[in-house]
Structure 1
Amino acid sequence: MKTVLSTKVLSHSQKELFLNSGIGLVEYNALKFNFLEVDIPRHITHLIFTSKNAVRAFLDQAPQLLVSTYRIFCVGEKTKMLLVQNGLNVVKMAENASELAHFIEKHHKKEHFLFICGNRRREELPRILSENNIRYDEIEVYQTELVPKKFNRSFDGLLFFSPSGIKSFLLENRIKDSWLFCIGHTTAQEAKKYSDKLIVAKRPTVENVLVQAVKKLSFRT
């Protein structure tokens, strides 16, 4: 039986995508997220989120904050969904940080932004904002910890959901001849350092990563 390793523990509904596919699934959490206690500035109402974990950390303080006063700019459909479900006004959702930064540069250049992020946030968005003289502050609300785990076997496919997940996996393992299935182009850029056998999800969701793995590795194809 062909088997894939997911570097993220999947939900029940996500696992169901593998039912009857003829593919085995091994899963673990390659990353651990620790929320920090911070003071969110109240005077900045334009907020930027590039991950769901940043939203969750922010919402931990939501009872003390008037969430309806904020205008939100975010990356990813799932991030937007979490924001909307909690009553926040999403002005713009982009597929990646660079796209979001360029939208801000074009349409909201005079505003003052607060970038709510983790300790392993990427450089693209801050760099583009700085290059275009857009005012922003940055606050770290969570930390990402790599969780090494050794697997004494090989896999037909590896499912990666962030560059940090790849780095965590490689602390104790090698890529070898596995197919790499990546949630987006940022993750794929990291994966390309180690293999050319990779497929990027057509949409940046966990579900589509799973769909691509099933299409590629199923016995029925």
Structure 2
Amino acid sequence: MHVLLLKEPRDGESGPDPYIQELASHGHKATLIPVLSFKFISLNTLSDRLFQPEKHGGLIFTSPRAVEAVKMCLEAEERREEWNRSVKDTWNTKSIYVVGKATAALVQNLGLNPLGEDTGTADVLSRLIIEREDTNIPPLFFPCGSIKREVLPTALREHGVPLETLTVYQTAEHPDLEKNLKNFFTEQGAPDSIAFFSPSGVKFCLEVVRRLSGEQLPQIKFAAIGPTTQDAMTAEGLCVSCTAEKPTAEHLAAAIAKALQ
């Protein structure tokens, strides 16, 4: 069976994408088409905040892209040495919160010790933070994207946990998205399953997917990486065949394999 993955290639690692590998282990062929493009902003401000850990109660990362912005700051100003010598250790005396294994791995590469990699969603992470943090701490620092959901900031605000957010990247549609989708459908025909990985992916792809699938649309098994993406798909009137129990390659591949049986 042929599966179309509407997601970005994994960051900075060579070798096959884990989602393609996992689906292959179930006997399915997967193709990956990138949906989003990213532009980094406010890196000078981010750099200032990173080198003032004493002003913050901890860090929050909910996307690999935000960690990438941090890495860019350390490399751009050649401050990696100062970071390694003292700054990262100061941050490690505080809580470094993350959502998901991919983000956790990148945070570890910065020399930081992440908490919450099994939370899977911002909603679950916010509950962990509220359980662990007092209201009298300095603000937690949250570098994020331009289309972040308000779940986490709202939950922390309602429980009096101080938070400082900074938008460090803007998300837009990948410039070649429509062309790549057309090429795929022309060469391969409609896939047996299509997996969405974000609400913005649904927003940018769905109309083109519907148009290219035509009468075959009802036969396609649509998969979601998690509940937020599932909600976005359902809101657009899509019938969601399966949702990964956790946002990992293993869980998504297992869910798709079951749906395609």
1:1-221 aligned at under 5 Å gives the runs: 2-8=1-7, 10=9, 12=16, 14=18, 15-19=20-24, 21=26, 23-36=28-41, 37-40=43-46, 41=49, 42=52, 43-62=55-74, 63=80, 65=83, 66-70=87-91, 71-93=95-117, 94-110=119-135, 111=137, 112-147=139-174, 148-149=177-178, 150-151=181-182, 152=185, 153-174=189-210, 176-177=217-218, 178-193=220-235, 194-217=237-260, 221=261
**Alpha-carbon contact 1:38-1:141 (below 8 Å) kept:** no
List alignment gaps of at least 5 residues for structure 1. none
| SS of equivalent to 1:12 | coil
Deviation at 1:82, TM superposition (A): 1.8
For this pair of structures, how many residues does the alignment match? 217
Say which structure is richer in helix.
Answer: 2
Amino acid at match of 1:192: T
- Contact 1:45-1:69 at 8 Å conserved across structures: no
Cα deviation digits, residues 89-109 of structure 1 (max 9, x gap): 224442211122122223203
Which segments of 5 or more consecutive residues in structure 2 lack a partner in the other structure?
Answer: 10-14, 75-79
- 1:213 Cα deviation from its structure 2 partner: 2.0
C-alpha distance in 2 between matches for 1:127 and 1:16: 37
Q: Structure 1-normalised TM-score?
A: 0.86
Other-structure match for 2:12? none
Q: What is the root-mean-square deviation of aligned Cα atoms in Å?
A: 2.3
* Large movers: runs of 4+ above 4 Å: none
TM-score in terms of structure 2 length: 0.74
1:73 aligned counterpart, secondary structure: strand
Measured after TM superposition, the shift of residue 48 of structure 1 is: 0.8
- Give the Cα–Cα distance (whole angstroms) in 2 for the partners of residues 86 and 180 of structure 1: 36
Higher strand share: 1
Provide the rounded CA distance (Å) in 2 between the counterparts of 1:195 and 1:79. Answer: 29
| Percentage identity across paired residues of the two chains | 28
